[in-house]
């Protein structure tokens, strides 16, 4: 990836210079970097489709403010602010759009900053982002044409046994975005079913006799080993010559209840995964193509609400950029304008703790870079600053992710060295001005990163959790009513938007609150991913239409289980394969929510009330501290030791 970034930036900028783009060749190189980050990481076809849809916005965002600036500076600023607002709102749709929003925002800010500090023709301004998109399209095609489906297989394998085990959301998104293959669907269905059964069995370990618990643990450990071997088979591009053996391991003692039957189901699921991975039926599954569009629509509806934390962040980000642009217009022709605007945009993050971290990294990195540059000015002639800046950029790019302070220090050397040399400026004065602009950018970023929006309450993590669980349960209840033909479609839409908004708010801390303990933050993210998965599955359930009483009853039971009033239901016995898949998805996400709730309740040693529980018609049933009931029914991972850590009342 790092080598690819260097090739993208350097190659695009060099090609732009050769094509006569002049100073905008730098804009082309950086825009190509943003597009490359946005269109990488997924299967080839979805990445190319995303880039194609993203390209017009990049060209308009990168060239529009600059071109409008020739006619009206007010119109140019207005377009830039609107573009930044949209870019800051895009991550609400899904994690896939985080880099898309970053790329769009950076490209537009860079393009406008170049307007104030450089001169270029209209053809050069439009050609720079267009060239960037074209280069990235060709490069992404070359990188993925050899194995276009590798990311999807890797996500499925990680869901089976890997870093994302239990995280079905990303695997489902990639599978649906790519050409959905039948064998991958079978692997996913049986994996989710097996993980659900294994979760139930692990929850019984506490209630078994020591000898029985030890025997069951040995079997489950053997199952994990088989899962890991099958995951590598799924990950491979071609079916291995020798498939992993599935030698069954049975407990050496009798187990109570239906535990033996559950083990039979678990081994049967593993055998089904092996058969599907070996057969690799590449036929396309006609299901459910509407799901991705439905999820995006739901997330967008939830974000476009004044109570949405992501919308409030977009407003703060747009206002911060507006202030920065007004300051920049007071110094037209300043070569450091681009750095100032991009620093301001980069500091403002959806979460205040990320804003604080970015501000710290930028500030300390700038100071460190200034010290190194000061030493260089003493030891080297000013003519050496240009090659020093170029070398610093090359050295700093690999540290962009791992050591941001080092990267920011290298940016100081590059920006000051290049501008002082090419524009014949005093290096010391340029360095002092750069540091002052960083201070102003940090001040703006922190001001709007911490600023509260008037009229919006500041709910605690317990209240946000309660709202998210309550709205998700109400959404499932409304879906059940719709499957019976009893609910108005408009009410269904309102429930989905409310569930999307409260889920987004759950993961967005209140500005000024303390950072939660790591285990609590991980639990919140687990609950958020589970709730998003429930929204996706509920949207697919709605497509089944009315007249499905079995699935309606299942959705009702799932709603009660989510609110802590019952156990997760079994899939209907009469369900077809599609309904069984939906039921398995719902159950997998239910377990994720319940496990996250258990970590929060046990780790904080408090009751986080699921307030305002609602009935299936949408009316309030009153408030009750229900999370304790959820946690009591939540299986914990064996050997887990949760300790209370005071942090912001979490």
Long-range contacts of 387-394 (CB under 8 A, 24+ apart): 388/413, 388/417, 389/413, 389/414, 389/415, 389/416, 389/417, 389/418, 389/421, 390/414, 390/418, 392/417, 394/6
Share of the chain above pLDDT 90, in %: 2
Question: Which residues face 610 on adjacent strands?
Answer: 624
**pLDDT at residue 518 in the model:** 62
Q: Do 560 and 497 belong to one domain?
A: yes
Pick the residue with more confidence: 411 or 206? 411
**Distance (Å, whole) CA 636 – CA 574:** 31
Name residue, tokens 């069954």: 248
Q: Is residue 613 part of a domain?
A: no
The pLDDT of residue 478 is 87
Distance between start and end Cα atoms, the chain? 37
Angle at 348 (CA atoms; ends 73, 293), nearest 5 degrees: 90
CA distance 164 to 201: 20
Q: Residue 256: what are its φ and ψ, rounded to 5°?
A: -80, 165
Cα dihedral 506→510→514→519 (10° resolution): 10
Decide if 637 is inside a domain.
Answer: no
pLDDT > 60? residue 117: no
| Alpha carbons 526 and 214: distance in angstroms, whole number | 28
Distance between CA atoms of residues 300 and 91, nearest Å:
10
Q: Are residues 338 and 434 in the same domain?
A: yes
Across-strand partners of 614? 620
At residue 608, the pLDDT reads: 42
In angstroms, rounded to a whole number, what is the distance separating the alpha carbons of residues 164 and 150?
Answer: 16
Helices (H), 304-426: 309-329, 337-347, 352-379, 385-396, 404-422
* 59 plus 75 within the same structural domain: yes
When mean pLDDT is compared across 20-24, 301-305, 488-492, the lowest value belongs to 301-305
Residue 628 domain-assigned? no
Yes or no: say if 183 and 276 are a contact pair by the CB < 8 Å rule: yes
The pLDDT score that the predictor gives to residue 354 is: 77
pLDDT at 61 over 70: yes
Q: Render 55-116 in DSSP notation, one character per residue.
A: HHHHHHHHHHHHHHTTT-HHHHHHHHHHHHHHHHHGGGT-GGGHHHHHHHHHHHHHHHHHHH
Does 611 have pLDDT greater than 50?
no
Higher pLDDT pick, 552 / 580: 552
Domain identity same for 533 and 586: yes
Decide if 99 is inside a domain.
Answer: yes
Q: Name the token pair of 51.
A: 């880039």
Reported confidence tier of residue 290, pLDDT bands at 50, 70, 90: low
Element housing 594 (H / E): helix 577-604
Does residue 565 or residue 376 have the better pLDDT? 376
Length of the chain, in residues: 650
Q: Are residues 73 and 21 in the same domain?
A: yes
Residue 633 within a domain: no
> Tokens standing for 397?
């790019």
Does pLDDT of 391 surpass 50? yes
Contacts of 299 (CB under 8 A, 6+ apart): 92, 93, 94, 500, 504, 532
Structure tokens at 262: 């559950």
The pLDDT, as a whole number, for residue 323 is 92
Q: Are residues 156 and 94 in the same domain?
A: no
Same domain, 163 and 137: no
Instruction: Say if residues 627 and 601 touch (Cβ distance below 8 Å).
Output: yes
Q: Enter the tokens of residue 614.
A: 């609602």
pLDDT attached to residue 213:
86
Q: What is the mean pLDDT of residues 451-465?
A: 63
Among the candidates 583, 604, 625, a domain finishes at 604
Of 253-267, 366-380, 383-397, 568-582, the one with minimum mean pLDDT is: 568-582
Instruction: Report the share of the chain in percent with pLDDT over 70.
Output: 78
Of the ranges 286-295, 451-460, 463-472, the best mean pLDDT one: 463-472
Per-residue pLDDT tens digits for 128-187: 888 888 888 888 888 888 888 888 888 888 878 765 555 566 777 777 677 778 888 888
- Is residue 258 helix, strand or coil? coil
**Alpha helices by DSSP H, 397-517:** 404-422, 427-450, 461-483, 489-506
Residue 646 has pLDDT above 50, yes or no: no
Residue 440 pLDDT grade (very low, low, confident, very high; cuts 50, 70, 90): very high
622 has a pLDDT exceeding 50: no
What is the pLDDT at residue 640? 28
Do 169 and 122 share a domain, yes or no? no
Q: Which pLDDT belongs to residue 119? A: 67
The pLDDT of residue 619 = 33
The pLDDT value recorded for residue 439 is 92
Output the furthest CA–CA distance in the chain (Å, rounded): 85
Residue 482 covered by a domain: yes
Residue 379 domain flag: yes
90 against 442, higher pLDDT: 442
Q: What is the pLDDT of residue 638?
A: 29
Nearest to 21 by CA among 138, 111, 136: 111
Provide the b/e sequence for 239-273 (b: ≥16 CB within 10 Å): eeeeebebeebebeeebeeebeebbebbbebbebb
Q: Please state the three-class secondary structure of 465-479 as a single string.
A: HHHHHHHHHHHHHHH
Q: What are the backbone dihedrals phi and psi of residue 336, each rounded to the nearest 5 degrees, phi first? A: -90, 5
Higher pLDDT among residues 611 and 112, named by residue = 112
Tokens of 145: 């044409």
Q: Are both 206 and 229 inside the same structural domain?
A: yes
Task: For 179-227, write each residue's pLDDT tens digit.
Answer: 778 888 888 878 877 877 787 787 777 777 888 888 888 888 888 888 8
| Residue of 457, 376, 364 whose CA lies nearest to 417 | 376
Q: Number of C-alpha atoms within 13 angstroms, CB side, residue 539?
A: 24
**Each residue's pLDDT tens digit, 342-353:** 889 888 877 777
What is the span of the domain harbouring residue 370? 334-451
**What's the pLDDT tens digit per position in 244-262?**
878 888 888 888 877 888 8
Of the three residues 106, 127, 146, the one that is the final residue of a domain is 146
Short-list 323, 326, 330, CA closest to 347: 323
What SS3 class is residue 506? helix
- pLDDT value at 322 more than 90: yes
Q: What is the pLDDT of residues 540-566, one digit of tens each?
A: 777 666 567 788 888 888 888 888 777
Domain termination residue (choose one: 428, 451, 474): 451
Q: Kindly state the average pLDDT of the residues 41-69.
A: 81
| Whether residue 340 sits in one domain with residue 392 | yes
Has residue 254 been placed in a domain? yes
User: Considering its fold, how many domains does the chain have in total?
Assistant: 4
| Same domain as 36, residue 121 | yes
Cα 341 to Cα 76: distance, rounded to the nearest angstrom: 15
- Phi, psi of 610, deg, nearest 5: -85, 90
Token reading at 247 = 């030698």
**For residues 299 and 258, which has the higher predicted lDDT (pLDDT)?**
258
Q: Which whole number is the average pLDDT over 81-94?
A: 83
Cβ-based neighbours of 488, under 8 Å, separated by 6 or more: none
* Pair (395, 528) in one structural domain: no
Is the pLDDT at 59 greater than 70, yes or no?
yes
């Amino acid at each position: 990836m790092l080598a690819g970034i260097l090739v993208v930036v350097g190659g695009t900028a060099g090609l732009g210079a050769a094509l006569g783009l002049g100073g905008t060749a730098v804009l082309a190189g950086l825009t190509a970097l943003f597009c490359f980050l946005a269109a990488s990481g997924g299967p080839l076809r979805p990445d190319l489709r995303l880039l194609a849809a993203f390209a017009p916005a990049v060209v308009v965002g990168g060239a529009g403010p600059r071109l409008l600036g020739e006619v009206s500076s007010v119109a140019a600023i207005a377009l830039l602010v609107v573009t930044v607002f949209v870019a800051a709102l895009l991550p609400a749709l899904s994690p896939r759009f985080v880099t898309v929003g970053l790329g769009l925002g950076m490209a537009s800010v860079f393009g406008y900053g170049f307007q104030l500090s450089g001169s270029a023709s209209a053809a050069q301004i439009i050609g720079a982002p267009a060239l960037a998109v074209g280069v990235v399209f060709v490069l992404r095609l070359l990188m993925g044409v050899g194995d276009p489906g590798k990311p999807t297989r890797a996500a499925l394998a990680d869901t089976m046994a890997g870093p994302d085990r239990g995280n079905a959301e990303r695997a489902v998104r990639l599978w649906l975005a790519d050409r959905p293959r039948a064998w991958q669907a079978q692997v996913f269905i049986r994996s989710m079913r097996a993980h659900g059964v294994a979760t139930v069995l692990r929850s019984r370990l506490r209630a078994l006799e020591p000898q029985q618990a030890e025997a069951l643990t040995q079997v489950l450990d053997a199952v994990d080993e088989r899962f890991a071997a099958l995951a590598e088979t799924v990950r491979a591009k071609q079916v291995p010559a020798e498939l992993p053996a599935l030698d069954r391991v049975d407990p050496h003692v009798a187990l109570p209840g239906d535990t033996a039957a559950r083990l039979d189901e678990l081994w049967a699921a593993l055998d089904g995964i092996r058969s599907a991975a070996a057969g690799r039926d590449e036929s396309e599954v006609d299901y459910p193509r509407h799901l991705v569009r439905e999820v995006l629509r739901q997330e967008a509806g939830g974000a476009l609400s004044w109570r949405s934390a992501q919308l409030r962040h977009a407003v703060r980000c747009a206002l911060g950029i507006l202030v920065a642009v007004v300051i920049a217009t007071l110094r037209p022709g300043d070569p450091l304008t681009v750095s100032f605007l991009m620093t301001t945009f980069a500091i403002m993050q959806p979460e205040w703790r990320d804003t604080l971290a970015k501000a710290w990294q930028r500030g300390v990195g700038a100071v460190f870079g200034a010290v190194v540059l000061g030493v260089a000015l003493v030891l080297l002639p000013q003519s050496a600053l240009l090659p020093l800046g170029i070398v610093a950029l090359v050295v700093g790019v690999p540290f962009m992710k791992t050591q941001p302070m080092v990267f920011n220090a290298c940016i100081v050397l590059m920006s000051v060295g290049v501008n002082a040399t090419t524009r014949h400026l005093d290096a010391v004065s340029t360095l002092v001005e750069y540091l002052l602009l960083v201070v102003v950018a940090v001040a703006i970023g922190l001001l709007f990163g911490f600023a509260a929006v008037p009229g919006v309450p500041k709910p605690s993590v317990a209240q946000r959790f309660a709202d998210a669980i309550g709205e998700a349960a109400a959404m499932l209840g409304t879906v059940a009513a719709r499957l019976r033909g009893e609910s108005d479609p408009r009410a269904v839409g309102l429930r989905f938007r409310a569930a999307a908004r409260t889920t987004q708010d759950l993961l967005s801390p209140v500005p000024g609150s303390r950072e939660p303990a790591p285990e609590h933050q991980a639990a919140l993210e687990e609950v958020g991913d589970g709730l998003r998965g429930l929204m996706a599955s509920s949207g697919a359930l709605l497509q089944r239409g009315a007249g499905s009483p079995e699935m309606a009853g299942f959705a009702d039971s799932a709603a009660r289980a989510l609110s802590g009033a019952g156990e997760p239901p079994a899939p209907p016995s009469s369900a077809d394969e599609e309904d069984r898949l939906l039921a398995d998805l719902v159950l997998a996400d239910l377990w994720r929510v319940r496990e996250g709730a258990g970590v929060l309740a046990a780790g904080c040693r408090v009751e986080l009330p699921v307030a305002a529980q609602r009935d299936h018609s949408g009316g309030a049933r009153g408030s009750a501290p229900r999370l304790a009931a959820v946690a009591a029914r939540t299986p914990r991972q064996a050997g887990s030791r949760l300790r209370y850590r005071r942090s912001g009342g979490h």
